[in-house]
């Protein structure tokens, strides 16, 4: 039955907890899944994200990477 609610495949389990700076960043900024996005950013689940929301979430991740990259580079 189609109730009109968008349910992304594997939502809440698709972002690993380790592996690269993007994964770490997604968890650090609560952009790893729709549940975290809803809880931490107030963007409700059950619908497709609009362009402004995607841009906002991408900017959070970009800011995290920009902040952490010097630290990672220093460790070599």
Q: Output the furthest CA–CA distance in the chain (Å, rounded).
A: 53
Query: What is the rounded radius of gyration, in angstroms, for the C-alpha atoms of the chain?
Result: 14
CB 12 within 8 A of CB 18: no
- pLDDT (tens digit, 9 = 90+) per residue, 52-68? 999 999 999 999 999 98
Between 34-41 and 51-75, two packed helices, what is the crossing angle to 10 degrees?
100
pLDDT tens per residue, range 11-33: 666 777 777 889 999 999 999 99
Domains in the chain: boundaries: 21-75
- pTM, whole model, 2 decimals? 0.76
Query: What is d(CA 54, CA 43) in angstroms, rounded to the nearest whole number?
Result: 11
């Amino acid at each position: 039955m189609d109730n009109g609610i968008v349910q992304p495949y594997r939502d809440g389990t698709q972002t690993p907890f380790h592996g690269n700076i993007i994964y770490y960043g997604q968890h650090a900024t609560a952009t790893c899944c729709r549940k975290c996005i809803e809880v931490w950013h107030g963007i409700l689940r059950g619908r497709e994200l609009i362009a402004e929301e995607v841009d906002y979430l991408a900017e959070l991740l970009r800011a995290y990477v920009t902040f952490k990259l010097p630290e990672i580079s220093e460790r070599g």
